[in-house]
A and B are shown apart, each in its own frame.
Chain A
Amino acid sequence: MTDITKTEDARTVRARSRSSSILADVRLWAAIGFVLLLIAPHYVYPVFVAKILCFALFAAAFNLLLGFAGLLSFGHAAFFGMSAYVTGYCLQTLGFSAELGILAGTAAGALLGLGMGLLAIRRQGIYFAMITLALAQMVYFVALQAPFTGGEDGMQGVPRNALFGVIDMSTNMNVYYLVLGVFCIGLFIIYRTVHSPFGQVLKSIRENEPRAISLGYDADHYKLMAFVISAALSGMAGSAKVMVFQLASLTDVQWQMSGEVVLMAVLGGIGTMLGPIVGATIIISLQNELAQIGSISTIVQGAVFVFCVLAFRRGIVGEIKHRWALWRSRSS
């Protein structure tokens, strides 16, 4: 019985992929995107694009949890910010090379994620969100008070140490390509996670947790794994940002940052690979462009969010995908 449905499934899938054009090929789009990102810094200010990549990775990591495991965390700034501090400390005080600094930051994010995850995943929905928020606030107060973070002055003038100890990182261009590398690795990990049996189990837990448990899956174990991966990648994004801006500040650990990443993911479309990247690009561009025309930046951001929630219920990418699917089913 199950075998028959499986083969039928496989056949329809294959048929669909054959009938759908080359446009649906993920690898093609990934390649186009990669080439665009390779040449982007020659046309757009590299520090700005690097910043977008950092936030895109952060939003994508957050989306792994919200979009694919159905867990809304309000504490992701803790991983992003604390990893930034750890990387900053490793580069500045311990003199680590760039890649070791970023790895240390990522490891810090993962460890923090393990600690927070163990406590938080026991609850669901609003309780889960509140627990993550509370724990993130604890991290914020540590960052505010601990001497090594520099309090509200932040950690400043972090050196851009050489990659592997030999490749010079002092120019914006070199840092950009480092960040691009980090971004691609991070995104690849997310893609592999989502499109693996592990990712399928996560989705089944998202859709119907009691049923997944009844099928023999240890839901808490899977959720914790997803939480740790998401935290580690958020940390990786925060670490890369330190390389770009040579500073780590309280902004990165504040609860507003946790809110901002939710905004990016929701705006772009949760549960899609591309959504958080589009969302992050829009938000960061708005912040940067509106900064230079007076005092309306936050108001416009709010208005854009309200408009998108009303007009694109599934987020920008989610809505496009949905319309595309509708159009295809009608035309076929």
Chain B
Amino acid sequence: MKLTKTLLLTGAASMLALSANAQDSGSGISDDTIKIGLIADMSGPYSALDGAGSEAAIRMAIEEMGGEIDGKKITLQTADHQSKADIGSNIARQWADQDNIDLILGGANSGVGIALQEITSEKGVAYINNGGATNALTNENCAPETGLHWTYDTDALANGTAVAMVKEGNQSWFFITADYTFGHNLKNTAANAVQENGGEVVGEVSAPFPTQDFSSFLLQAQGSGAQVVGLANAGTDTQNAVKQAQEFGLTQAGQKLASLLLFITDVDALGLDAAQGLTLTTGFYWDQDDKAREWSAKYEERTGAKPSMVQAGMYSSALNYLKAVKEAGTDDAKKVVAQLKTMPIEDAFARNGKVRADGLMEHDMFLAQVKTPEESSGKWDYYNIIRTIPGADAFQSIEDGKCEAAKTAMAEGGASGASGTESTSGQAQ
């Protein structure tokens, strides 16, 4: 009985594969152009770490492919979502309906990012998010057949920092949390990681979002006697908290300050005097190794600045997408994404990268500490890389996630194998 079922399934699967192959030869590249669209924050709070730099990074990837694939031109069009989900959504729909776009990149704003993923999934367009922090992209709102999440997510950053610091003997933690969903998610991920690794959360305080004056929260953190003060916030809130922590002499008194979401552009804005000693996790640092340095030098020649992890991620995702198009011989979103999932991702940005069934690009993250002004040799020389966090440790596993489509796909994959009993029964429930 079970055997027949397995046979039938395998038969069906191979027929599907055959018909897909048959389509392949016919479909090829739609309108003889590979159209990439970037919907970025060109003028808002993320424009420094995304914006025009992202556009330059994608152009570098296109040039690296020679501007064409097998004689089919690669084009890039850009738009500014102005931090509004409806503007991003409007443009993405228009590009999909009228311009026949093949790939949409961007969405460095959680609301815009999820909206783009919903539309591209509906329209059958490939989508790669770089810069959106929310882990919903590969959980509740996942669209694993078309939508990928590339650079980082809240899990990887919070988890990475918390695990690595606890392992180094920083057992007791105090959290200052931005009082909205994002902040609480960040804090919960980090707090769980701390406790699972034998650490202890001695206290927590929620600060309204946004907050100018962190003094009472910082005093509580000092009073708690915790070894680490974790900042579960982002952007201006983080910058304010870090500056004021410096004024209160938090790190000088022996406590460590850990930011659960920090970009190199934030450090640049803060200056090393204020940011020194801060521990953080990053998906990319321009000075991490030779490959990264070489590419970042080219990028700097073009833009006058070192790339942020988001901009480097843009380059990497565009490059790998184009390689996958070349490999698959088509720009059909589902086929290219399926192709990406079989390729190892290894370039100037990613180390040991792979695209998972739920659409997350799992790759090594880096635990970094911000240099002191004396250590730094100049602008952009900001981080000491303390250690590499393997992707599997940093990111949440598919089993622990909420992407049902990916779980089902994995269960089906298991069912066709010999030991498929458990997963089939799980799927039936």
Contact = CB atoms under 8 A, between A and B. Distances in A.
A288 B209 contact: no
Interface string B32-43: 000000000011
A294 B80 contact: yes
A153 B180 CA distance: 11
A247 B52 contact: no
A251 B85 CA distance: 7
Nearest to B83: A251
Given A157-B118, A291-B91, A249 B180 contact: no
Interface in A284-326: 287-288, 290-292, 294-299
Interface stretch (A6-14, A44-52, A193-201): A44-52
A151 B181 contact: yes
A292 B77 contact: yes
Nearest to B113: A153
Contacts of B77: 292
B53 to A, nearest CB: 11
Interface string A127-167: 00000000000000000110100111110110000000000
B10 interface: no
Interface stretch (B23-31, B62-70, B92-100, B353-361): B92-100
Interface in A223-264: 241, 245-247, 249-252
B85 A247 contact: yes
A23 B59 CA distance: 54
Contact of B111 (A45, A48, A249, A298): A249
Contact of B180 (A152, A154, A241, A245): A152
Nearest to B137: A153
A152 B81 CA distance: 15
B47, B86, B134, B136 — which one has the most chain A CB atoms within 10 A of its CB? Answer: B86
Interface residues of A, number: 34
A251 B111 contact: yes
Contacts of A295: 42-43, 47, 51-52, 80
Given A152-B110, A291-B91, A245 B80 contact: no
Interface string B178-195: 011110000000000000
- Most chain A CB atoms below 10 A, which of B42, B43, B85: B85
A87 B294 CA distance: 52
Nearest to B119: A246
B114 interface: yes
A37 to B, nearest CB: 18
Contact of A247 (B51, B86, B98, B179): B86
Interface size class of B (residues with CB under 8 A): 35 or more
A45 B78 CA distance: 18
Given A150-B181, A251-B111, A245 B82 contact: no
B87 A288 contact: yes
A274 B84 CA distance: 26
B90 A154 contact: no
A145 B89 CA distance: 24
Given A45-B94, A292-B78, A294-B80, A156 B87 contact: no
A141 B89 CA distance: 24
B118 A156 contact: yes
A287 B43 CA distance: 12
B112 to A, nearest CB: 8
Interface in B365-424: none
Contact of B93 (A47, A144, A251, A252): A47
B260 interface: no
Contact of A291 (B82, B97, B98, B134): B82
Contact of B79 (A45, A291, A299): A291
Contacts of B110: 152-154
Contacts of B246: none
Contacts of A250: 111
B304 to A, nearest CB: 16
B90 A288 contact: yes
Q: Which of A47, A144, A151, A252 has the most CB of B within 10 A?
A: A151
Nearest to B112: A249
A154 B111 contact: yes
Contacts of B42: 294-295, 297
A292 B81 CA distance: 9
Contact of B82 (A150, A152, A241, A287): A287
A153 B134 contact: yes
Contacts of A299: 43
A325 B115 CA distance: 47
Given A145-B179, A153-B136, A288-B87, A247 B43 contact: no
A151 B234 CA distance: 15
Contacts of A249: 84-86, 111, 115
A245 to B, nearest CB: 5
Contacts of B89: 245-247
Nearest to B85: A249
Interface in A150-194: 150-154, 156-157, 172
B6 interface: no
A144 B209 contact: yes
Contacts of A151: 180-182
A245 B119 CA distance: 9
B104 to A, nearest CB: 13
Nearest to A292: B79
A50 to B, nearest CB: 10
Given A45-B94, A295-B42, A295-B52, A154 B82 contact: no
A295 B180 CA distance: 29
Contacts of B244: none
Contacts of B182: 151-152
Interface in A9-45: 45
Contact of B90 (A147, A245, A294, A297): A245
Interface in A51-86: 51
A299 B43 CA distance: 9
Contacts of B43: 295-299
B141 interface: yes
A286 to B, nearest CB: 11
Contacts of A241: 86
Contacts of B91: 288, 291-292
Given A249-B85, A288-B87, 7 more contacts: A144-B180, A152-B111, A154-B85, A249-B115, A287-B84, A288-B90, A295-B51
21 contacts: A47-B90, A51-B86, A51-B90, A144-B180, A144-B209, A152-B181, A152-B182, A157-B114, A157-B118, A172-B97, A245-B89, A249-B86, A251-B85, A287-B82, A291-B80, A291-B91, A292-B80, A294-B80, A295-B43, A295-B51, A299-B43
Instruction: Please list the 8 inter-chain residue pairs (A to B) with the smallest Cβ-Cβ separation, ordered nearest first.
Output: A151-B181, A295-B42, A154-B111, A249-B85, A295-B43, A249-B111, A291-B79, A157-B118
Interface of B: 42-43, 47, 51-52, 77-87, 89-91, 93-94, 97-98, 110-111, 114-115, 118, 134, 136, 141, 179-182, 209
